Structure 1
Amino acid sequence: MTLPALDPARTAVVTIDMHRGHLDPAVATMPLPAEAAARVTAANAVLVRAARARGVPVVHVVTGYHDVSEIASNPWWAAVAGTDATRANVLNHQLPGSPGLEVMPDLLEQGDVVVTGKKRYDCFAATDLDHVLRSRGVSTLLITGVNTNSCVLATTVAANTRDYAAVVVEDCVDTMDRTLHEPALAVLRQAFGWVATLDETVAAL
C-alpha cells in the first residue's frame, strides 16, 4: 500500500530500543550482528535528522529494569534464559548501571524525548509513551528499532489498536532472529500498518 503524505505536525518518530544494549558490540548484552547494528543505526540517524529538520518530534523508548526479578517474572524469558535461544542472556539485559541503557549517541539530540523503563515488548505497556504522543497531537508514528519480530511487531500492533497510523520504516528496523525480519514485516504490512523504505518515508514528510 502506498504511503500517504505525512503531516509533520501530527507525526512522530518512535525508536524502539536503539540502545547500546543491542547495538554497541563492545557492551551489548543481546547484540545484533555488528554489520546489522551499524546499518540500522546509520539508517535511523538519517531518519531522525530528516524528522528534526521538519519539526517532527523524535521519541526514543528504552528498555530498563529495576532488578532481574522484573525480567524473570515473564515465564517465557525465564524459560529461555541460559539456553541456546537468541534471548538466552535476557536476565542480564538492561539492568541498572548498564552502559546498554544509553541511546546510541548518533541518534540522540537535545529536544528528543526519552521514554525509559520499558519492561515488555509493547512500548505502550507500563510507560508514558501514549501520553507523550497524545499531548503533542501526534496521530502518525514512524516506528523504528529492534527487534522487528518482537518489540517492533508488538508496538505496531498496540499502536494500531489505539488508532494511531503506524508506519514501520523497514531500513530502520532489524532483529537478532535473522530469519524472521521479513516475515515480521509481512505480518505488519498485511494487517497493522504501512511498511515503507527510508527514502519513501522522508519523501512523504
Structure 2
Amino acid sequence: MIHARPFDFPYDGNLDPGATALIVIDMQQDFLSTTGYFTRQGYDSSPLRAILPIVSKLIDACHIVGIRVIHTRQGYRADKADMTPYERWRRERSGLECADVLLRGTPGFEIAPEIDVWPEDIIIDKTCNGAFTYTDFEHVLRAQGITHLLFTGCTTDVCVHTTLREACDRNFQCLTISDACASGDQYAHEAALHMVTVENGVFGVLAEAADVLEGLVKLKKQRA
C-alpha cells in the first residue's frame, strides 16, 4: 500500500501494477517553456518546470514495476475546426489569435524533452481540460483493465483536477501526488490539493512522491 491522506491507497490493500496507471497530465512545452502558452498568459512556468525531476522519477519507478504510463497533451486541431466561437473569442481576448500555441503539430504541443516517453507508453490527445471529454481515454483504460490511477502533471487546479473529478465519477480509484503536480497560481494549487481530501476523500487520496516511490519499492520486492 501507499501511505496517503485521508487513507492509504488502495483502500483494500491490493496494489496491482497491472490494474494501475500513472497519468502524466500535459507536461508539454506550451506549459513548461518560457515562450509557450502558459507564459504568454502571464503566468510563471517555473513551478511547472520544478516538478520535472519528480515526475521523471515516478515514470521510471512505474516502468520498473509494470505500471502503465499514460501521457496527455492538450491542443486543438491544426486547422482549428474543433474550436468553438467562444474558444476563439477567449483566444483573441488573450492576444493569441495568431499564435502557434495549444495547436497540434506545433513545437509547443510536444511533451517536454525532460520527460522520457517510452514506446509502450500511451498518449491521449485532448481538446478540453478533462482527458475524458471527447477522447477515447476511458475506453483505453477499460481495455487495459486499469482501475487505479496515480495523477501527476499540470496544472493542478485545471487539467489535473478536471480529469481527476471525471475519473472519480467513473469509479476509478485515484491518488493525486501532491509534489508531482504544479500550477502557476500557488493559492489555486493548494486549494485543489485540499479539495482532494475533503469529505473523507471525495476525490480519492493525496500522497507525496516519496511515499509513492517507497510503496513501489516495496511492491518490487514483493514481486521479486
Q: Give the TM-score normalised by the residue count of structure 1.
A: 0.87
Q: Does 1:184 align with 2:184?
A: no
Indicate the residue corresponding to 1:195 in structure 2. 206
Return the letter of the residue paired with 1:124: F
Q: Give the counterpart of 1:144 among 119, 144, 152.
A: 152
Q: Does 1:37 align with 2:48?
A: yes
Equivalence map 1:1-205=2 (5 Å): 1-4=6-9, 5=13, 6-25=15-34, 27-31=35-39, 33-66=44-77, 67-68=79-80, 70-74=82-86, 78-79=89-90, 81-83=92-94, 89=96, 92=99, 93-107=101-115, 108-116=117-125, 118-190=126-198, 191-205=202-216
Unaligned runs of 5+ in 1: none
- The DSSP-based 3-state class of the residue aligned with 1:62 is strand
Tell which structure's C-alpha radius of gyration is larger. 2
Q: 2:174, 2:85 → 1: CA distance?
A: 30
The one-character-per-residue Cα deviations of 1:58-81 (angstroms, maximum 9, x if unpaired) are 000111211446345446x73475
Please give the root-mean-square deviation of Cα atoms over the aligned residues, in Å. Answer: 2.2
List structure 1 segments (4+ residues) > 6 angstroms apart after TM superposition: none
Q: 1:96, 1:139 → 2: CA distance?
A: 29
Identical columns (%): 27
Unaligned runs of 5+ in 2: 1-5, 217-224
Indicate the residue corresponding to 2:3 in structure 1. none
Q: 1:41, 1:33 → 2: CA distance?
A: 15
Question: Does the CA-based 8 Å contact 1:146-1:174 persist in structure 2?
Answer: yes
Q: 1:158, 1:18 → 2: CA distance?
A: 19
> How many pairs are equivalent?
198
The one-character-per-residue Cα deviations of 1:138-177 (angstroms, maximum 9, x if unpaired) are 1000011111111111111100000000111111111122
Question: Does the CA-based 8 Å contact 1:62-1:114 persist in structure 2?
Answer: yes
Question: Does the CA-based 8 Å contact 1:52-1:58 persist in structure 2?
Answer: yes
Q: Give the TM-score normalised by the residue count of structure 2.
A: 0.80
